[in-house]
Amino acid sequence: MKNVLRIMMLPVCLAILAGLAACKPGDDGGNNTQTAVPTAAELVTAAPTSAPTEQATEVPTDAPTEAPKPPVEAGMMVYYEDFSGYGDIDDTYRAAKALGWEILSVAVDHAKNDWTAQLAIKDGALHVTNYSEEKGTGGTDGYTRIFDEMTMKRVKEFGSYTLQYDVTYLSASNYKRYINFITEYDAEGYNSYHFRIGGYGNNQTWYQGTWYTLDANDGNDLYAAKKKNDDNGTTVAYKLLGIEEPMDENTHNNFANVTVTIRVVRVDGLATIYMKTADMSEFLKVSAPSEASEDRGIEKSLYGLGVCFKVGGGINGIVDNVAIWTGTGEMPADKTVTYVP
């Protein structure tokens, strides 16, 4: 029986052996074939001879430039503010922010004093309150920067400019108080025309802790920078209002409720001052720089610096129509600011 089974299994074994012989290496017996694994020699031969390079990015040889600035010419408006278009603002810091002005402090900006005045924009004008008539007390000098020396750089190169503004004094602690716009401002000094409520004014420079009075005396009454009339000149009160009395505490309200326009003409660092009241058709010269001011060179050393608004102690008043333009001529009819710093 065992022999019969062996004989019967023999053909089956032979068939299996034939099938195995027919299979190729790597054949899984199905329809998918495996990819032959390359030898080490084949890998070396197939390797690239150099690494691929990135496409170079083109770098521009010239940096982009700003558009050319228009040339500075006479009669170009540098700044103009008539306080319209803001509505009424009765908060000091909101008013300053709306105008783009910067209130200066002793600690941060090295100003002479900290700001004490109240500012308000009402009826299209700037109202200043730094004196309490009820208490009879007033605040200190204060400074608010309109713009710095970088704005005035090209104006300085041009060589001349004019600053003009209207001011109406209301009341003050004494006849020496004033409100004005000062030029050539930095931490060390500035130039200022102090037109005081009593009716006299001085062209002065504050420099490194000292006041320098720069008005010229003139026997022909050309200049009006005195506190009383004498052979060397006269007062602004006499020149503009015909008041002959000298300035003292009894006449400290000569210019209360009188609107005046002040024009400061600066040429190469030296200032000449003109004034007129609202009912005058022509400006009158009230101050010109003396020879001593030219010899000192103080104003020229400061020329071209910033512009500030200043409240000179305990005084109340109204300011309007602040303008700065290049050159020494009349204010341009077109008030559009075309100057580019």
- In this predicted structure, what is the pLDDT of residue 33? 41
| Confidence grade of residue 320 (pLDDT, cut at 50, 70, 90) | very high
Q: Worst-scoring range by mean pLDDT, 241-250, 251-260, 289-298, 308-317? A: 289-298
The residues pairing with 323 across neighbouring beta strands, listed in sequence order, are 80, 164
pLDDT for the residue numbered 303: 82
User: What global pTM score does this model have?
Assistant: 0.79
Instruction: Quote the mean pLDDT of the chain.
Output: 83
* 112-134: average pLDDT: 96
Question: What is the model's pLDDT at position 25?
Answer: 41
**In the prediction, which pLDDT does 217 show?**
78
| Distance from C-alpha of 315 to C-alpha of 195, rounded to nearest angstrom | 12
Q: pLDDT (tens digit, 9 = 90+) per residue, 246-289? A: 887 776 689 999 999 999 999 988 899 999 999 999 999 999 88
Judging by beta carbons within 10 Å of its beta carbon (0-12, 13-18, 19+), is residue 29 exposed, middle or buried? exposed
Residue 22's pLDDT band, with cuts at 50, 70 and 90, is: very low
Specify the pLDDT at position 62. Answer: 65
Q: Are 204 and 213 in contact, with CB atoms under 8 Å apart? A: yes
Q: What percent of the chain has pLDDT over 70?
A: 77
Of 10-24, 71-85, 224-238, 272-286, minimum mean pLDDT range? 10-24
Mean pLDDT across the stretch 297-324?
A: 90
Residue 245's pLDDT is: 86
Give the pLDDT of residue 30: 41
- Of the two residues 44 and 153, the one the predictor is more confident about is 153
pLDDT of residue 213 exceeding 90: no
pLDDT of residue 86: 96
Residues 6+ apart with CB under 8 A from 242: none
Q: What is the pLDDT of residue 55?
A: 58
**pLDDT tens digits, 39-70:** 444 444 444 455 555 555 565 666 667 788 89
| Residue 228: per-residue pLDDT | 86
CA distances for 179 relative to 31, 109, 144, 277, 320, angstroms? 103, 20, 12, 16, 12
Q: Which residue, among 211, 326, 322, 223, has the nearest Cα to 266 in the 3D structure?
A: 326
Domains, the chain, in order of start with CATH, read 87-326 (2.60.120.870)
Pairing type for strands 306-312 and 284-287 reads unpaired
Q: How confident is the model at residue 154 (pLDDT cuts 50, 70, 90)?
A: very high
Please state, for a pLDDT cut of 90, what percent of the chain lies above it.
57
Q: How high is the pLDDT of residue 231?
A: 75
Q: Average pLDDT for residues 177-198, to the nearest whole number?
A: 93
Q: How confident is the model at residue 209 (pLDDT cuts 50, 70, 90)?
A: confident
Q: Can you tell me the mean pLDDT for 126-136? A: 94
**Total residue count of the chain as it appears in this document:** 341
Cβ distance 116 to 269 under 8 Å? no
* Residues 214 and 158: beta-carbon distance below 8 Å: no
DSSP 268-307: TTEEEEEEEETT-SS-EEEE-B-HHHHHHTHHHHHTT-EE
Question: pLDDT tens, 229-240?
Answer: 887 778 999 999
* Mean pLDDT within 1-11: 43
Beta-carbon contacts of 50 under 8 Å, excluding residues fewer than 6 positions away, are none
